[in-house]
Amino acid sequence: METRITRLLDWSARDKAWLLAVITVPLHLFYAGWVWVSLNYTDFGARFLDPAVAGQGLAYALLAALYWALVAAWGSALRYLQRDSMLLVNTVIFSYGISQLPLAFLVGMAEPMTGVILLGASITGFVLFSFWRVLAAFFISLFVLMLLSLLTVEGVLPYAPVMLEDPISRDYVSPYYVTSQFMLGVPFVTFAFVICYMLLSRWKRREAQAQRLAVTDPLTGVANRRAFLDMLEREYARAQRDQSSMAVVMLDLDHFKNTNDSHGHAAGDAVLCHAAAVLGGVVREVDSVGRLGGEEFAILLPGATASEAMDVAERCRAALCRAPVMHEGAPVDVTASLGVCGLQANTVQRASRFLELADQALYAAKEGGRNRVVCYQDGP
């Protein structure tokens, strides 16, 4: 069963923006914590970090955390008041990537995590929000990143100003720097991964649901006409290869129109569902029940002879008779007429012919007084 958080993709844009703001606060605090720990407790900080610039980076990370805390509080107030605000949504979309860029500039824009965060932010945004606004925000962030890079190449701005020297070179690699940069990216990448996983899971569920709807009668839950005919074609082809028999039973609920007229369409729906359940309880596991339309059902019995199919059809007829449907405290009697066709598959020119012959037998059952089973045998 889905919970509130797993239905994230169904949240309103306001709530998605609020959640993103809430999550961004600890991300910036994480950056601030890395600078503080590196400066005060590691040899790496003493050797590689410029204390003045690192202090500025620490101040910026704390300021960014405060900014996102205020945005999150704004979103919380809107949620409490049950008001929507596109201004909140746009603020989150357009400031999310921009708020990361100063930190990227301080540590070096060519660092892998800069690209990961920029790309991950775009993927997360595309999943959560409308495409064009996220695309616009992406290009704005990309433009600023390219501008900073150009100014760095031209010597206007220093590259990685927080670093006194490069902690990664051909002769030396700082384990602390490599590990900590990886760890700084883990929360963000994890969040992006979870969002994408939820999206893919939702797509899979909806695809499976669409597949079920495509092959299932929505009222009774048995196979619909299209699915039943597909199964009939497959079984016919298999039976021809194996030179075996197969059978089809056609079933029509007697006086179903009178049931609708006398008891209402709700009673008619209840009768249809009841009939489908009864048929499903009688047939074998390898057999298939389908609703062809209206009050007409069909049963496909792979490998069954005409005699075996007659036994199944009679059990279905008797089971329906024994179990009236209770609707609004009153019993609604249910009977059915059934036609059976069981033949060797290689004696029939096409799969649909089984349905035609079973339908002829069904017509004979109706003509003979209904509530009975008739088998096709070279003419019913």
Task: Provide the CATH number for the domain around residue 250.
Answer: 3.30.70.270
How would residue 379 be classed by pLDDT, with cut points 50, 70 and 90? very low
pLDDT reading at 337 higher than 80:
yes
The pLDDT score that the predictor gives to residue 7 is 67
How would residue 119 be classed by pLDDT, with cut points 50, 70 and 90? low
Q: Are residues 282 and 180 in the same domain?
A: no
Residue 98 has a CB neighbour count (10 Å cut-off) of 13
Q: CB-based contacts of 339: which residues, under 8 Å, 6+ apart? A: 249, 250, 251, 358, 359, 360, 361, 362, 363, 364, 365, 373, 374, 375, 376, 380
Average pLDDT, the chain: 87
Which of 164, 182, 214 finishes a domain? 214
**Sign (positive or negative) of CA dihedral 6, 9, 13, 17:** positive
More confident residue, 32 or 379: 32
Q: Are residues 165 and 259 in the same domain?
A: no
pTM: 0.59
**Residue carrying structure tokens 């007829």:** 317
Q: Where in the sequence is the domain holding 231, given as residue range(s)?
A: 225-375
Q: Is 219 within the bounds of a domain?
A: no
pLDDT reading at 98 higher than 50:
yes
Lowest-confidence range among 62-71, 128-137, 254-263? 128-137
Q: Are residues 148 and 21 in the same domain?
A: yes
Q: Is 48 within the bounds of a domain?
A: yes
How would residue 292 be classed by pLDDT, with cut points 50, 70 and 90? very high
Q: Phi-psi region for residue 51, left (φ > 0), alpha (ψ -120 to 50) or beta?
A: alpha
Lowest-confidence range among 5-19, 237-251, 298-312, 316-330? 5-19
The pLDDT score that the predictor gives to residue 262 is 81
Q: Are residues 121 and 244 in the same domain?
A: no
Query: Using one digit for the tens of pLDDT, what is the confidence trace for 302-327?
Result: 999 999 999 999 999 999 988 788 87
Q: Rounded to whole angstroms, how far apart are CA atoms 255 and 126?
A: 55
Q: Are residues 280 and 365 in the same domain?
A: yes
Query: Using one digit for the tens of pLDDT, what is the confidence trace for 132-189?
Result: 888 888 888 888 888 988 898 888 988 889 998 888 887 888 888 888 877 777 777 7
Q: Are residues 319 and 362 in the same domain?
A: yes
The pLDDT score that the predictor gives to residue 1 is 41
Q: Check residue 163 and report its DSSP letter.
A: B
Q: Are residues 281 and 198 in the same domain?
A: no
Lowest-confidence range among 1-10, 144-153, 369-378? 1-10
CB of 345 within 8 A of CB of 239? yes
Q: How many domains does the chain have?
A: 2
Class of residue 246 by CB neighbours under 10 A (exposed 0-12, middle 13-18, buried 19+): buried
Q: Are residues 197 and 263 in the same domain?
A: no
Q: What percent of the chain has pLDDT over 70?
A: 93
Q: Are residues 274 and 368 in the same domain?
A: yes
Query: Using one digit for the tens of pLDDT, what is the confidence trace for 196-236?
Result: 777 777 777 778 778 887 889 989 999 999 999 999 999 99
Q: Is 220 within the bounds of a domain?
A: no
Q: Are residues 152 and 266 in the same domain?
A: no
Q: Is 277 within the bounds of a domain?
A: yes
Q: Is 309 within the bounds of a domain?
A: yes
Which of 214, 235, 269 finishes a domain? 214
Type of residue numbered 115: G
The pLDDT score that the predictor gives to residue 120 is 66
Q: Is 31 within the bounds of a domain?
A: yes
How would residue 2 be classed by pLDDT, with cut points 50, 70 and 90? very low
CA 354 from centroid of its chain's CA atoms: 38
Q: Are residues 140 and 272 in the same domain?
A: no
Per the DSSP assignment, residues forming a β-bridge with 374 are: 339
Q: Is 380 within the bounds of a domain?
A: no
Q: Are residues 266 and 192 in the same domain?
A: no
Q: Is 160 within the bounds of a domain?
A: yes
